Amino acid sequence: MLVFCLLAVLALGVCLTGTAAADAGDATAANATASATQDGETLQLTKRLHLTPDRPGQIEVTARFDDPDNLVELETQVPARATVIDTDGFSGSGGGYAWDGRTDAPSLTYRLPVNETRETEGPLAGRGDYTFVDAGEWAIVRTPQVGVSWSWRGGNVTLDRRTTVDGEGVASEAMAFLGPHSEYTRRANGQRFRLIVPAAASLAESRSRIFESMTAASDTLQVGARDASVFMIAAPTTSVEWSVQGLQTGGDSFWVQDDQGLQVPDNVWLHEYVHTRQDYDRNDGTRWFTEASATYYAALLSLEQDRIGFSAFRSRLRAGDVRSDPGEVLAAPSTWSGRTPYLKGALVAGELDRQIRLAADGRRLQTVFRRMNAAEEPLTAAAFEDIVTDVAGREVGRLADRYTTTDATPSMWSRTEHLRAFEGAAPRIEYAFAPASERFRVAGPYRNGSLDAGQPVELATGESLSLDVLVENTGDAAGEFEAAFAVDGRRLDEQAGSLDPDEQRRLTFSHTFDEPGTYTLTAGTRTVEVAVRGPSPPAVVDLQANASRVTAGDVVELTARLGNDATIPAAGTLTLYRNDTVVSTREVVVGPGSEQEITFAIEPPAGTHRFRLGNATATVTVDAPPTERDGTGSTGTTANGPGFGAPAVVLAVIVVALAGRRRRT
């Protein structure tokens, strides 16, 4: 069976997959992801990025493939601007590079220009042109992508791609920093925030304040699409003039100029974080919402975090009325200037949020945002209006249509109007683990039942973990929740619903772990670490026989005491030997930190026998049974030694007499 898979990994991080089968029985090729998730073999692609200070503006990239035994063909394509400088096991073929089929771990190395520039207009525009740059001693670059196609025989071969940095540096799937730096982390609400501070950077805000703002926003934004990890770089500003004050790309990664503060309505840290929570498929009719919602929520969250006052918040949104150009239509990008979604778009987003709050108790623009993220089809202007109508009613839906499909612009609201809409009843959705005794349950080939465990939760391969999380509305208005369940950032399940004030619901999520490793599970905003490894063989502590000497035909009972000092079950096959001959096998499971006994019933033949189970032994002597009496009434010999019949007695007397005579002589 021959299977062919084509993966085109574009610079924007979009993956396209296709399959071609040699016959109808061929398997379907798997999507390539950041980690292999299906059974079968793995084609490991490791990209190593290397800073080249003597060549500012470009880096070196080595793409190495660790190939499984059943790989048949492998081709790769480097970025269009790349210059290949070395190959091992690859040769040029039709614009790409083909594997020779013989070289283990083939690789190719290329130089890649990484500087990117663009002209930017709007409130978040910078003073320069760069969006990505190699400054010589350091670089902020897009993570290079390569195209890969491969074919195989037999079981599936899936692609696992990883990016590392030679020397100092760190990379996500979308963005990388090369050069000396420090990395700081904070966990909250099921997310791990990674802050990369280059040695060349000087933060205008303390790390703790940045983390506080990010984690508060993570908690407040109940819109779904929480990435397991958020990758943030503080971009140095001493030697580079950037085109924008911040840039997000690839879902979970962004950089922000190191001189950006938090006490402003245009809080760039919050703006870029909001972008990481946008997971909808837009078209021209809803493209405005991307920058509009990020701008609006950056200002609103700064207000709610007490980083700015209402006057600054009002002044920022009011710019959408007083500074917008006539004729701008949000659903028609051809009518925009570069600042339209940041100005008019932000004001429209805010006005819709206010109107939704007034019309639908407990609902907000976040409710619309969450449903946009959950939509399976590209969002048109009409689809946006339908969502708003469903959330807040026909009247607010008409406002959404008017403000997005015409050049009508709302006016900024007053402080009193703000208090009425934003400071009234509101839901607050919170997640917590169930009580410790009810939190975890384990099922599988070794054990079934509740699991009173700390972190990390330790499991054996093949076991399933069920996790119970409590979701509660602690606010004073009804609200909706959307709890995603993810393993290492890969979403596997989702539960959604609505809760009245003070209502609580128990959610259960389960996953089976077939491979050893360390995993991060996220349920709602709660996170748990799980360590998985294969069960070890049970230890035989002692082996005892019920008697050390028996007669042939008797049954010997051998009792083994088994122990397991590990924190996961021990399991395996134990073999009982008699003088190196296998006499019995037993499949056993011993619970974590416990002992148990097993018994073997053996009927051994006459002789002395050494029984062995694991490293424990026991010796048993088996006597031959007495023989039957013959017709004269005499008995035969026994297994214990020679008998004494009449001839033997006579012989003994003669020997004694001769001995006496010799002494007299």
pLDDT confidence band for 329 (50 / 70 / 90): very high
State the Cα–Cα distance between residues 412 and 28, nearest whole angstrom: 55
pLDDT confidence band for 475 (50 / 70 / 90): confident
pLDDT confidence band for 9 (50 / 70 / 90): very low
Domain ranges in the chain are 2-124+131-164, 180-260, 278-424, 429-533, 539-623
Fold topology of 429-533: Immunoglobulin-like (2.60.40)
Note the pLDDT tens digit of each residue in 594-626.
Answer: 999 999 999 999 999 999 999 999 999 999 987
Q: Alpha carbon of 115 to those of 58, 174, 462, 583: distances in Å?
A: 7, 15, 47, 73
pLDDT confidence band for 5 (50 / 70 / 90): very low
More confident site: 559 or 536: 559
Task: Point out the least confidently predicted range of 381-385, 408-412, 440-444, 649-653.
Answer: 649-653
Instruction: Please calculate the CA angle 199-205-210 and round it to the nearest 5 degrees.
Output: 100
pLDDT confidence band for 39 (50 / 70 / 90): low
* pLDDT over threshold 80, residue 17: no
The letter for the amino acid at 536 is: S
pLDDT confidence band for 536 (50 / 70 / 90): confident
**Residues 6+ positions from 626 with CB-CB distance below 8 Å:** 635, 638
Helix (H) / strand (E) containing 312: helix 310-322
**Residues 6+ positions from 426 with CB-CB distance below 8 Å:** 357, 362, 364, 475, 476, 477, 479
DSSP character at residue 638: B
**Residue 138 near residue 234 (C-beta atoms within 8 A):** no
Decide if 278-424 and 539-623 have a common fold: no
pLDDT of residue 656: 37
Looking at every residue in the chain, the average pLDDT score rounds to 87
* The residue count for the chain: 665
Stretch 356-369: mean pLDDT: 92
3-state secondary structure of 590: strand
* pLDDT over threshold 90, residue 373: yes
Task: Point out the least confidently predicted range of 344-348, 502-506, 643-647.
Answer: 643-647
Fold topology of 278-424: Neutral Protease; domain 2 (1.10.390)
Helix (H) / strand (E) containing 657: helix 646-664
Note the pLDDT tens digit of each residue in 53-103.
Answer: 999 999 999 999 998 989 999 999 999 999 999 999 999 987 899 999 999
Whose tokens are 């990390």? That residue is: 456
Q: What is the full DSSP assignment across 379-442?
A: BPHHHHHHHHHHHH-HHHHHHHHHHHHSS--PPPPPHHHHHHHHSS----EEEEEPPHHHHEEE
pLDDT of residue 665: 32
* pLDDT over threshold 60, residue 266: yes
Task: Point out the least confidently predicted range of 284-293, 347-356, 604-613, 631-640.
Answer: 631-640
DSSP character at residue 641: B
pLDDT of residue 619: 95
pLDDT of residue 255: 98
Q: What does the block give as tokens for 552? A: 């042939």
Note the pLDDT tens digit of each residue in 539-548.
Answer: 999 999 999 9
Sign of the torsion formed by the C-alpha atoms of 306, 308, 311 and 314:
negative
pLDDT of residue 629: 52
CATH number listed for the domain at residues 539-623 = 2.60.40.10
* pLDDT over threshold 50, residue 216: yes
DSSP character at residue 94: T
- 180-260 placed in CATH 3.40.630: no
Q: Alpha carbon of 656 to those of 641, 642, 647: distances in Å?
A: 22, 20, 14
pLDDT confidence band for 12 (50 / 70 / 90): very low
